[in-house]
Chains A and B, each alone.
Chain A
Amino acid sequence: MGIFDGFKKKDEKPKADFSNVQSGSSTTSAAPASASPLPFPGPATGTSGAEQSYTVVAGDSLSKIAKRFYGDANKWPRIHEANRDQIKNPDLIHPGQKLRIPGA
């Protein structure tokens, strides 16, 4: 049995690291009227102005997410403000948390 265990361990591939994956989306569709109002001034119309949601993955930080969605890591307070109900400490977010990302 121990011999097989050794083989298994040898065959196991290390997990790939996807913590720096950048994502985005856009649509020809209008944004739903029920979308929450933007906490910061932003474009009122247009396809990129709608609120989006994002699920935190391992290795994320608010500044990384801000960089991903706004192209500017310094805009992380915008995400923090929109998620005050679930982020008490902006330096502490957890994989699996679903964040609201206000429109750019």
Chain B
Amino acid sequence: MMMRHSKKIQLSLCFALLLAAAACNRNAANNTTGTAGAGVRVTDVTLGRSVGSDKSITDRTETFKPNDTFYASVATDGAAPNATLRAKWSFEDGQLVDESTRAIAPNGLERTEFHISKPDGWPVGKYKLEVFLNDQSAGTKTLEVRGS
């Protein structure tokens, strides 16, 4: 009888330990998500034909005409004394169109715009924009140029 009772106690203890371990794991996961938000991060990338003085897109589109200027507005949140945003534009099979970098020292919500134009017009086809924050990919957008 005593043996059966102590086994029950042992089982209960094991169950309690398992529950405690699971709770710890959940806390660890939550902490990881929390720290990912620290520093600075890209929260949004939008494309369009023009930007306003706040560097947000005023004429949003992902379909352009050959003579349009492509604008990308990159929203960041967080603070950092020194961060780097890079916009890499490529054409169809990965041919590099342009790559430019901007050093920023964000403090809260900020926007950075990148734009590219081609005086003799863009070739029709699909393009890709990849945005990097401190050399880590932070988002991609596809756009298309259709004949006018």
Is the CB–CB distance between B118 and A25 below 8 Å? no
Min Cβ gap B61→A in Å is: 19
**Bound: A26/B115 CA distance, A:** 9
- Closest Cβ–Cβ distance, residue A11 to chain B (whole Å): 13
**Chain B interface, DSSP helix/strand/loop, else mixed:** strand
A interface bracket (residues with beta carbon within 8 Å of B): 20 to 34
Q: What chain B residues lie within 8 Å of A57 (beta carbons)?
A: 96, 98-99
How many residues of chain B are within 8 Å of chain A by beta carbon?
A: 35
Q: Is A89 an interface residue (CB 8 A)?
A: no
Q: Which residues of A approach B to under 8 Å, CB–CB?
A: 15-16, 18, 20-35, 50-55, 57
- The residues of B with any CB-CB pair to A shorter than 8 Å are 54-55, 76, 81-83, 85, 87, 91, 95-107, 110-120, 123, 125
Q: What 8 A-B pairs are tightest by C-beta distance, nearest first?
A: A27-B112, A29-B104, A32-B82, A29-B110, A53-B101, A32-B105, A16-B123, A23-B116
